[in-house]
């Protein structure tokens, strides 16, 4: 079992359960027990091959052990979520295989044709206006308008902002104001936005940055990120790429 | 009418919400729909899209809203009930493997891998698939020639097929792969080193009432000297052994003479009737070859519909054809049929190289699928913007008499080509003759008859095949 470097000792009540993750909370953020397909993260506990049961027991983190659904597991390693360095060259980054409904249309506008229904067209226009504001106008106003935009647990807008925060960290720019502007009532989004604010990233994002630093395995690492969620991975990468290259 | 409801404190992942949103939008009578969390931003978009029902204003970030715009109250009610049912139903397990080995864990019985990734990686991935005992369809282009040869030699030794690289279409055991059409199943097997050529012959055969057993693409380079027709011959042998195949149809640009020799040697060993269409080298057209295959399959001549056309009156200065093709094979066939001096960015037969692909000279046949037009943008079968712009430019040239177009339907192609073309055809058909062929069937998602009707209504002359369209275009300019 690998445990993220920001997981602290304590007892955490049950929050929610998904196919590949069981979430616990300290009231402010989520600590997640996940399988290896989701993988490492600053607040993830990776338990290979686990199948979520039905227990609502709290998660207990002790020195060297984790008690999850009544079973005690030894901690074998700690995952370091610190950004490993600065990519040398972003030119080999490729969004071709990003999911059609992701925000990759911000990089390749021909992808806008994937958004056909009335709401989808409105979504595209709204996102474009917000992102223009972020990069060419009042950044915080753009962030406030973009947050919560899109579907699901972590709306596309929030994923993009998380990528933006990682990019800002990479450039050594302040992130607190952006995070405050992006904060909402959504604990899923707040958790990963706060991590991005601190420059803490998942294993897949770390692998992509390492690939961009070394020039090796960029395609594989990009595709692994694109496979996260419906569009979450691609939305995150879009925000990161646009910020890092700006 | 706009209606909807709110589910308080409901979280669903985006994959589920996308699936639900798509399913209800496709319901009859539903004009538009959205299933989203009620964040301020999403509510603003609902408002601007005309989907904000009054009750949504009080919903918050952690509430799910279902918004439906429908033609009738009954349709809206069905949509809302459908959402409830879909959200209760566990999502189908969606597998998105990120590697070949991951895909094989999910589908251990798979026997074919379709590879569509950047060319520089595609060869290695194809080799991994072959090593795992899979046939390969290699959609990717820009695979090194040496790699292609190595893959094909490796596959041939193991009795496997490598369709491609740059293989855009195939139909295997009735399953259309990549850019392919929905055609009848039947007893005519095709081997083609020409993608749109394969689509054209399979559609003509299907529209004539016969059907396809297998359609094997090889990629255009297969019949070059260097590759030696390895997969063309493997495909031919496979069809010779295939019990479902009674007639074999071969389609290609002329193979290298040494390759042709090898193909002919194999043909002597095959006891099934074989129709050959090596564009520019064989007599006739793709249509002729298709109908000959139909006739061999059915034991009688197919009935050919006569197309009556009314040629528009053109000003005397208008005397040239401007062929704007999305399919390379069609562009080649047009040049061969035209026969006289013409210009092209992909010259075949007696045509000359166009000096500047952006400017037509006299009779010009353009392959808009060539790299010079597609770098950084989708293929013209998907994205009509470049061709539409060129149609307007050509019509504005006072010497243009005929604009000749191919419209390719089927999976992968534009979902609504008529919608893209009708406006420009309506605009230019007052000045020039617009002659189109449509490669497709009524079973294709776009429906050939529906597309044909829309184009005719806009002022185009729609012919049953590329060859027929080319011949008509030639007749129009020869009469001038």
Q: How would you class B69 by CB atoms within 10 Å of its CB: exposed for 0-12, middle for 13-18, buried for 19 or more? A: buried
Per-residue pLDDT at B99 exceeds 80: no
User: What are the DSSP E strand ranges found in B38-92?
Assistant: 64-70
Residue A187 token pair = 């604990």
- Nearest to B151, CA basis, from B179, B174, B119: B119
At B91 the pLDDT is 45
Residues 6+ apart with CB under 8 A from B280: B253, B254, B332, B336, B348, B349
B458 touches chain A (CB under 8 A): no
- What chain A residue is nearest to B45 in terms of C-alpha separation? A122
Per-residue pLDDT at B13 exceeds 70: yes
Q: What is the distance in angstroms between the CA of the first residue and the CA of the last residue of chain A?
A: 38
Please answer yes or no on whether A229 and B14 come within 8 Å at the CB atom: yes
Residues 79-138 of chain A with CB under 8 A from chain B are: 94, 96-97, 101, 110, 113, 117-119, 121-123, 125-126, 130
What letters, b where the CB count within 10 A reaches 16 and e where it falls short, cover B429-460? bebbbbbbbbbbbeebebebeebbebbeebbb
For residues B468 and B480, give the distance between their C-alpha atoms in angstroms, rounded to a whole number.
19
Nearest-CA distance from A80 to chain B in Å?
A: 24
Per-residue pLDDT at B34 exceeds 80: yes
Residue B427 pLDDT class (50, 70, 90 cuts) = very high
B52 or B442, which is more confident: B442
- What chain B residue is nearest to A222 in terms of C-alpha separation? B98
Per-residue pLDDT at A160 exceeds 90: yes
What is the second-level CATH architecture of the domain B320-478?
Answer: 3-Layer(aba) Sandwich (3.40)
Q: Pairing state of beta strands B274-278 and B247-252?
A: parallel
- What is the CA angle B198-B200-B206, rounded to 5? 100
Nearest-CA distance from A146 to chain B in Å?
A: 7
**Chain A residues with beta carbon closer than 8 angstroms to that of B21:** 117, 119, 151
- CB atoms under 10 Å from CB of B464, counted, come to 19
Residue A219 pLDDT class (50, 70, 90 cuts) = confident
- What chain B residue is nearest to A19 in terms of C-alpha separation? B93
Nearest-CA distance from A24 to chain B in Å?
A: 16
* DSSP one-letter string for B202-255: HHHHHHTT--EEEEEE--GGGGSTTTTTHHHHHHHHHHHH-TT-SEEEEEESPP
Please answer yes or no on whether B32 and A123 come within 8 Å at the CB atom: no
Chain A interface, best mutation among B14, B52, B56, B100, by max A CB count within 10 A: B14
B17 touches chain A (CB under 8 A): yes
- Run of H or E residues at A187: helix A187-197
At B375 the pLDDT is 66
Residue B24 dihedral angles phi and psi, to the nearest 5°: -75, -30
Q: What is the dihedral of CA B400, B379, B207, B247, to 10 degrees?
A: 120
8 A C-beta contact, residue B428 and residue B434 = yes
At B92 the pLDDT is 43
Residue B62 pLDDT class (50, 70, 90 cuts) = confident
User: What are the DSSP E strand ranges found in B383-480?
Assistant: 400-408, 433-439, 461-463
Q: What is the dihedral of CA A142, A148, A149, A152, to 10 degrees?
A: 160
Residues 57-86 of chain A with CB under 8 A from chain B are: none
Please answer yes or no on whether A119 and B96 come within 8 Å at the CB atom: no
At B54 the pLDDT is 80
**Chain B residues with beta carbon closer than 8 angstroms to that of A183:** none
8 A C-beta contact, residue B206 and residue B183 = yes
For residues B107 and A24, give the distance between their C-alpha atoms in angstroms, rounded to a whole number.
34
Nearest-CA distance from A64 to chain B in Å?
A: 32
Put the strands of the sheet holding A77-79 in their side by side order.
A14-17, A21-25, A30-34, A44-46, A2-4, A77-79
For residues A95 and A160, give the distance between their C-alpha atoms in angstroms, rounded to a whole number.
14
Tens digit of each residue's pLDDT (9 = 90 or more) over A53-100: 778 889 999 988 999 988 899 998 999 999 998 887 788 788 888 888
In percent, how much of chain B has pLDDT > 90? Answer: 61
For residues A117 and B428, give the distance between their C-alpha atoms in angstroms, rounded to a whole number.
30
- What chain B residue is nearest to A111 in terms of C-alpha separation? B378
Residue B165, preceding bond cis, omega within 30 degrees? yes
Please answer yes or no on whether B11 and A188 come within 8 Å at the CB atom: yes
- Nearest to B140, CA basis, from B153, B154, B126: B126
Q: Pairing state of beta strands B64-70 and A21-25?
A: unpaired
8 A C-beta contact, residue B301 and residue B324 = no
Average pLDDT, chain B: 90
Nearest to A230 among B15, B35, B41 (CB): B15
Q: Using the structure block, give the residue that is written with the tokens 């700690």.
A: A78
At B19 the pLDDT is 79
**Chain A residues with beta carbon closer than 8 angstroms to that of B41:** 126, 130, 145-149, 155, 157
For residues B244 and A16, give the distance between their C-alpha atoms in angstroms, rounded to a whole number.
54
Residue A133: HSE in the Cβ half-sphere, 13 Å Cα cutoff: 18
Chain B interface, best mutation among A119, A149, A208, by max B CB count within 10 A: A119
B107 or B200, which is more confident: B200
For residues B186 and B195, give the distance between their C-alpha atoms in angstroms, rounded to a whole number.
20
**Chain A residues with beta carbon closer than 8 angstroms to that of B377:** 110
Across the range B192-221, mean pLDDT stands at 96
Per-residue pLDDT at B95 exceeds 60: no
Per-domain residue ranges for chain B? Answer: 2-88, 100-298, 320-478
8 A C-beta contact, residue A169 and residue A83 = yes
- Nearest to B350, CA basis, from B336, B331, B361, B363: B336
**Chain B residues with beta carbon closer than 8 angstroms to that of A118:** 31-32, 49-51, 69
Across the range B370-380, mean pLDDT stands at 77
Nearest-CA distance from A129 to chain B in Å?
A: 12
Identify the weakest region by mean pLDDT among A118-127, A165-174, A201-210.
Answer: A118-127
At B373 the pLDDT is 85
At B227 the pLDDT is 97
B106 touches chain A (CB under 8 A): no
Please state the length of chain B: 480
What was the ipTM of the complex prediction?
0.81
Please answer yes or no on whether B35 and A151 come within 8 Å at the CB atom: yes
Tens digit of each residue's pLDDT (9 = 90 or more) over B275-331: 999 998 888 999 999 999 999 999 888 876 666 777 778 888 999 999 999 999 999
Residues 6+ apart with CB under 8 A from B77: none
Q: What CATH class has B2-88?
A: alpha beta
Residue A159 pLDDT class (50, 70, 90 cuts) = very high
For residues B403 and B429, give the distance between their C-alpha atoms in angstroms, rounded to a whole number.
9
At B382 the pLDDT is 86
**Stated pTM of the model:** 0.58
What HEC string does B296-328 produce? Answer: HHHCCCCCCCCCCCCCCCCCCCCCEEEEEECCH
B79 touches chain A (CB under 8 A): no
Please answer yes or no on whether A101 and B18 come within 8 Å at the CB atom: yes
Residue A87 token pair = 């990519």
At B107 the pLDDT is 76
- What chain B residue is nearest to A233 in terms of C-alpha separation? B14
Nearest-CA distance from A223 to chain B in Å?
A: 7
Across the range B117-142, mean pLDDT stands at 91
Tens digit of each residue's pLDDT (9 = 90 or more) over B14-26: 777 877 887 888 8
Give the bridge partners for B37, in sequence order: B64
Residues 164-223 of chain A with CB under 8 A from chain B are: 184-186, 188, 219-220, 223
Identify the weakest region by mean pLDDT among A9-13, A148-152, A233-237, B425-429.
Answer: A148-152
Residue B94 pLDDT class (50, 70, 90 cuts) = very low
Across the range A167-171, mean pLDDT stands at 94
Across the range A211-218, mean pLDDT stands at 87
- What chain B residue is nearest to A94 in terms of C-alpha separation? B118
CB pairs < 8 Å spanning A and B:
115
Please answer yes or no on whether B37 and A227 come within 8 Å at the CB atom: no
- What chain A residue is nearest to B15 in terms of C-alpha separation? A230
Nearest to B32 among A119, A224, A231 (CB): A119
B25 touches chain A (CB under 8 A): yes
Per-residue pLDDT at B401 exceeds 50: yes
At B96 the pLDDT is 57
Please answer yes or no on whether B17 and A155 come within 8 Å at the CB atom: no
Per-residue pLDDT at B405 exceeds 90: yes
Residue B121 pLDDT class (50, 70, 90 cuts) = confident
Across the range A2-30, mean pLDDT stands at 89
Question: Which superfamily does CATH assign the domain made up of B100-298 to?
Answer: Succinyl-CoA synthetase domains (3.40.50.261)
At B341 the pLDDT is 78
């Amino acid at each position: 079992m690998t445990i993220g470097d920001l997981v602290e000792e304590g007892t955490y009540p049950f929050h929610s359960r998904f196919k590949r993750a069981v979430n616990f909370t300290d009231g402010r953020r989520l600590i997640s027990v996940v399988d290896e397909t989701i993988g490492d993260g600053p607040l993830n506990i990776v338990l290979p091959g686990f199948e979520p049961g039905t227990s609502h027991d709290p998660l207990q983190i002790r020195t060297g052990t984790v008690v999850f659904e009544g079973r005690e597991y030894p901690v074998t390693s700690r995952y370091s979520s610190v950004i490993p360095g600065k990519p040398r060259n972003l030119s080999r980054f490729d969004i071709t295989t990003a999911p059609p409904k992701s925000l990759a249309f911000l990089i390749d506008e021909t992808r806008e044709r994937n958004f056909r229904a009335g709401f989808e067209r409105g979504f595209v226009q709204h996102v474009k206006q917000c992102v223009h504001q972020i990069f060419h106008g009042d950044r915080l106003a753009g962030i406030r308008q973009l947050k919560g935009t899109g579907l699901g647990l972590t709306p596309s807008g929030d994923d993009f902002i998380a990528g933006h925060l990682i990019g800002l960290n990479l450039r050594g720019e302040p992130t607190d104001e952006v995070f405050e502007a992006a904060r909402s009532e959504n604990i899923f989004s707040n958790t990963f936005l706060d991590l991005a604010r601190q420059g803490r990233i998942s294993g897949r994002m770390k692998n992509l940055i390492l690939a961009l630093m070394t020039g090796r395995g960029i395609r594989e690492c990009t595709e692994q990120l694109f496979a996260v969620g419906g569009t979450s991975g691609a939305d995150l990468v879009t925000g990161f790429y646009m910020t890092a290259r700006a | 009418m706009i209606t909807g409801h709110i589910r308080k404190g409901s979280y669903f992942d985006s994959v589920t919400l996308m699936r639900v949103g798509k399913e209800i939008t496709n319901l009859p009578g539903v004009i538009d729909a959205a299933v989203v969390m009620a964040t301020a931003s999403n509510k603003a978009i609902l408002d601007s899209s005309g989907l904000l029902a009054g009750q949504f204003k009080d919903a918050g970030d952690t509430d799910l809203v279902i918004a439906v715009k429908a033609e009738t109250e009954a349709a809206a009610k069905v949509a809302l009930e459908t959402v409830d049912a879909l959200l209760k139903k566990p999502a189908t397990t969606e597998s998105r493997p990120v590697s070949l080995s991951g895909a094989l864990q999910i589908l251990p019985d798979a026997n074919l891998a379709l590879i569509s990734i950047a060319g520089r990686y595609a060869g290695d991935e194809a080799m991994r698939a072959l090593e795992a005992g899979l046939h390969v369809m290699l959609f990717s282009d820009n695979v090194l020639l040496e790699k292609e040869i190595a893959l094909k030699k490796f596959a041939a030794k193991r009795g496997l097929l490598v369709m491609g690289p740059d293989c855009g279409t195939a139909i295997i055991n009735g399953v259309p792969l990549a850019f392919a059409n929905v055609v009848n199943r039947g007893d005519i097997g095709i081997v083609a080193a020409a993608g749109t050529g394969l689509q054209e012959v399979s559609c003509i055969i299907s529209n004539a009432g016969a059907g396809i057993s297998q359609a094997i693409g090889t990629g255009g380079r297969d019949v070059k000297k260097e590759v030696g027709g390895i997969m063309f011959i493997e495909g031919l042998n496979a069809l010779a052994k295939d019990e479902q195949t009674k007639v074999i149809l071969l389609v290609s640009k002329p193979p290298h003479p040494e390759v042709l020799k090898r193909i002919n040697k194999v043909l002597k060993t095959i006891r099934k009737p074989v129709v050959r269409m090596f564009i520019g080298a064989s007599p006739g057209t793709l249509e002729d070859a298709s109908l000959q295959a139909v006739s061999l399959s059915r034991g009688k001549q197919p009935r050919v519909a006569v197309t009556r056309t009314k040629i528009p009156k053109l000003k005397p200065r208008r005397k040239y054809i401007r062929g704007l093709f999305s399919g390379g094979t069609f562009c080649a066939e047009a040049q061969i049929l035209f026969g006289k001096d013409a210009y092209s960015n992909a010259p075949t037969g007696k045509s000359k190289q166009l000096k500047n692909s952006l400017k037509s000279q006299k009779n010009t046949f353009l392959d808009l699928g060539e790299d010079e037009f597609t770098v950084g943008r989708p293929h013209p079968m998907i994205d009509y913007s470049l061709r539409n712009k060129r149609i307007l430019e050509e019509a504005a040239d006072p010497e243009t008499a005929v604009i000749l177009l191919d419209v390719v339907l089927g999976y992968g192609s534009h979902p609504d080509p008529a919608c893209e073309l009708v406006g420009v055809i309506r605009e230019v058909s007052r000045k020039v003759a617009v002659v189109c062929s449509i490669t497709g069937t009524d079973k294709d998602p776009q429906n050939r008859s529906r597309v044909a009707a829309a184009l005719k209504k806009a002022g185009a002359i729609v012919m049953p095949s590329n060859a027929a369209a080319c011949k008509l275009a030639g007749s129009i300019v020869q009469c001038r």
